[in-house]
Each structure stands twice: as structure tokens, then as C-alpha cells.
Structure 1
């Protein structure tokens, strides 16, 4: 396997960082464990992982230049909003409400 096939994480979004640091200690540690798990050897493993449950968010139109927004289980009770950009998973936010992940009120 080459470096090109490897899954890489982008954790630089300020909203994602605020949300991550705002989690309670137990949830934050669970999220960090999930981030380590996201560094799978390849994308097919990320897509197939039942614990991560990577799925396209169809209820939110993605911004220009982004094919699709997706959600991934980051803790037992939270999902993160992310998208794939080449080898990168670009993490955008960890909404406090499950429905907010999907653009619902």
C-alpha cells in the first residue's frame, strides 16, 4: 500500500476544533479514539466499518467544490460532519444534536 492510498485526517477546521474541545472529558476521549480509528489503511475500510457508519447527508446541499457532506459516528451519541477530499477526511463540526447533523431542527 502506498501513502496515496492511506486515509489522512484534516482536523484544522476551527468549528470542528471548538466542538471537539467543548466535549465532556469522556466524550472527548471517545472522539479521539474514533479519530485514531479513522486512520484506516484505506478508504474502503472506512466505508465498510460498521462502528464508524460513514454515510452521505442528503438533506444538506454541500458547498461549491464539495461533492457531498457525510456524517461519521464520532462517539456513542454524536456524529461529525465531514467530507472526503482526495486522501483526506476533512472534519467540519460535531453538532450537539443528532438532528442538526442532518440539517433538521
Structure 2
């Protein structure tokens, strides 16, 4: 596992994440892209501690096979994304339509 002092690498290749990102309204999409640009400049330690991103382990849903844990982070003012860490990469999974949906509620 790379050091937590290593710079975060982005993986945006998940088709569900791409669909969610590309269908956001322009203001939300720009905010999400700004957040992704910020993330790629952080180390893992900085990402974990960043008060604006609010990186949190999601305990209310079972992670998919092969993934240790799924996390949520704020991607815009009103939306959270789900992701998991895979070595040096943050692999983006989804952008929830609203805050509660991130945690499997509703």
C-alpha cells in the first residue's frame, strides 16, 4: 500500500460515476470538477483530514466484493460521492442524488 503521504490519483472510469457526473446541472458539474481537481493535488493524509470533503466510511451498506470499504465525500455543496481507496488511487463509484441516498437510506 502506498504511503498516506503520496498524492491521491483519480480513477473516474466507473460508468455509473461518469453517468452521474456528466448529467449534473452545469453549476453542480463545475463544482464537482473543482472538487476532483482539488483531490488530485492532495496527499491521502490531507484528503482524510480535509473538513470540506468530509471523508467518511459508510457502514450502512456492504461494500462490493473485492473492496474493503466504501467511503463518502462531499463533491459539491449538496451532493456526496462514493469511492474506495485502491492503493494510490481513489476510485470514484457514484454521485448520490441527495445526501441520504449516499448512505443507503430512503
Q: Distance in 2 between matches of 1:103 and 1:41?
A: 28
Q: Distance in 1 between matches of 2:45 and 2:56?
A: 13
**What SS class does the counterpart of residue 9 from structure 1 fall into?**
strand
Cα deviation for residue 19 of structure 1 reads: 0.3
State the TM-score, normalizing by the size of structure 2. 0.92
Give 2:17's aligned residue: 16
Q: Distance in 2 between matches of 1:94 and 1:7?
A: 19
Cα deviation for residue 93 of structure 1 reads: 0.5
- Identify unmatched segments of 5+ residues in structure 1: none
Structure 1 residues 69 and 13 mapped into 2: Cα distance closer, same or farther (>3 Å)? same
Give 1:97's aligned residue: 98
- Identify unmatched segments of 5+ residues in structure 2: none
Give 2:53's aligned residue: 52
Moved >4 Å (runs of 4+): none
What root-mean-square deviation, in Å, do the aligned CA atoms of Structure 1 and Structure 2 show?
Answer: 1.4
Give 2:79's aligned residue: 78
Q: Distance in 1 between matches of 2:17 and 2:96?
A: 9
Cα deviation for residue 6 of structure 1 reads: 1.8
State the TM-score, normalizing by the size of structure 1. 0.93
Give 1:67's aligned residue: 68
Q: How many matched pairs?
A: 103
Q: Distance in 2 between matches of 1:97 and 1:79?
A: 7
- Superposition pairs of residues 30-49 of structure 1, within 5 angstroms: 30-49=31-50
